[in-house]
Structure 1
C-alpha cells in the first residue's frame, strides 16, 4: 500500500506550470514503470478527482485538488495574519515578498506580495516549490529542523553541497537570525529571509524579500531590519513571546468558527519544564 502511495505522489510531482498535462506513456517513461502500471495509477487518481482525463486520453490535475487547497488555506490561521503584515511591508518596501513553509522535504510558497518598484522580481505562484538548500527561505526553515529532517532533504537532492558545509551554513542562519541568498536561484536576483514562529516558539514559516541584485547592496541593511521586524510582529500576533515561551504550551482551538489560543491541558502533578531554545 505504501508503495502505491509513493508512486501516486511521484506522479503528482510531475505536474508543473510548464508541464500541466501528461500521457500514460510519458508518465511510464519518466518514472521508469510499466505502461500498464502507469495507466492503472492515472485512472485511479482520475476516479478520485485528483486528476482529470481529457478527451485525448491525457491527464491534467483535477479540481478536487483546488477544493482541498481551499480547505487547507481556510484552516491555516497564521497565513492570514502573515498576509496582513506582508501587505504592510510590501507597501513600505516596494519589493517582492513571499511566505514559504516546509512540507515534507519540500519548501512550498504559500503566500506572496508582488513588488511595485521598477524591475521588481516576479512573484512565483502560490504552490511553487522552492529549493530547500539554496533558497533563503529553505535555509531558514532547515536551520530550525532536527538533524534527521535536514539529512533527508540533503539525501533527496542532487545538490553537491556537503553535510559539513550545510551544517555550518545553517548554524550561521540560526546565529544571525536570517538567511541571505545572492543570485543562486535566479541570475540578477538576491533574497533575504527570516523565521516566523508560532505560539510555541516553533518556526512554521519563512518570510522572504527578493530584490534585483543591482539595488540589493544599497538596500540590504534596511531590507533586513524591516523583514526581521515584520517576522517578529507576525510571531507576536500568533502568540509567540520569548519571555513566555517556556511557561507551557498553547494550542489553537476552534469554537463556532473562531480560532483562539488556549493553554494546553496539563497532567496533574506534572512539573513545568523550560523549553529549550537550542536551534
Structure 2
C-alpha cells in the first residue's frame, strides 16, 4: 500500500540520498544512463526496472524519452537499449573541453611539490596512450613530458595501468595481430607476458615500470576511473637512480592522487 499521491517507486538504494532541489525524474533518467557500462552496454526495460527497484512503467517512460532525444537507441527486434549518438557527441565535447586536465591539474601540482618528480596524466589513444597534462620535475636531471605525445600502449607503467582494465579480447585485438615493438631489453614484447603484467596491476592497484620505453627512467602509475572504465593513468616519472629509492613513497602518493581525480569524475 502507498499513500495517495505518493510515487510507488522510491529512489534505489545505490543512488544515495537526493540533494535538496533535485528533480527526481531527471535524476532517474541520469541513473538509467549511468547504468550502461563497457561490461554491460545493453539493457532491457524489465532488467532496468529490477536493477533499480522501480516500476516497469516508469522505466519504459524514461527510456522512451531518452530514445526520443537519441541518448539511447532501441533495437527494433530485441527491444534492448544501447547508448545513442547524443552521448557520443557529449563525450567528444567533454574530451575537447579539457575537463579531465582541469580537474587533475591541482593534483599534479601538489604531487610535484611532494615528490619533486615529473607528474603526468595520460589517456587512452587507440592502442597507445597520450599525454593529456603534465608538470615537469624540479631537479636538474628530470623527465620532460610533451603534451599530446603518443606512446605505444604496451610500453611502460602508464600504458599498463590503462589497458590492464580493458577486456582481454580488446587487448588481444590491439596488441596481438601486429606484434609488440621492442624499444630495449626491458620492453614487454610477448602478449602472454603483457597479460600477466595486467593481472598484477589489477591485483596491486598500481604499476611500477623500469625503463620499458625510456631505459633511463622509472615510472609509478595508478588508474583514474570513470564509471566502470579507466579514464586515465596518473604517473610519477623520473630518473631511475632517484625514483627507485622512493618507489614505496611514490606508490602511496600517486594512488591517493588518482583516487582524488576519480572522485572528482564521480567515481
Which of 141, 155, 164 is residue 162 of structure 2 equivalent to? 141
1:110 has 2:132 as partner: yes
- Shift of residue 72 of structure 1? 6.6
Q: Matches of residues 200-219 of structure 1 in structure 2 within 5 Å?
A: 200-219=227-246
* Structure 2, unaligned runs of 5 or more: 1-92, 183-188
1:101-152 Cα offsets, whole Å, 9 max, x none, are 11222211111011112311122x1111112112111101110101222112
Alpha-carbon distance in structure 2 between the residues aligned to 1:144 and 1:217: 25
Contact 1:73 1:79 in 2 (8 A): no
1:239 has 2:266 as partner: yes
1:18-67 Cα offsets, whole Å, 9 max, x none, are xxxxxxxxxxxxxxxxxxxxxxxxxxxxxxxxxxxxxxxxxxxxxxxxxx
Higher relative contact order (CA 8 A, sep 6+): 2
TM-score of the pair, normalised by structure 2: 0.59
- 2:218 is matched with which residue? 190
- 1:228 is matched with which residue? 255
- 1:132 is matched with which residue? 153
- 2:97 is matched with which residue? 75
Contact 1:132 1:153 in 2 (8 A): no
1:173 has 2:201 as partner: yes
SS in 1 for 2:234: strand
1:121 has 2:143 as partner: yes
- Shift of residue 207 of structure 1? 0.7
* Structure 1, unaligned runs of 5 or more: 1-70, 241-279
Contact 1:107 1:132 in 2 (8 A): yes
Alpha-carbon distance in structure 2 between the residues aligned to 1:74 and 1:162: 34
- Shift of residue 217 of structure 1? 2.3
- 1:162 is matched with which residue? 190
Please tell me the root mean square deviation across aligned C-alpha atoms, in Å: 1.9
SS in 2 for 1:92: helix
Number of residue pairs matched? 169
1:84 has 2:112 as partner: no
The list of structure 1 runs, each at least 4 consecutive aligned residues, that deviate by more than 6 angstroms after superposition, is none
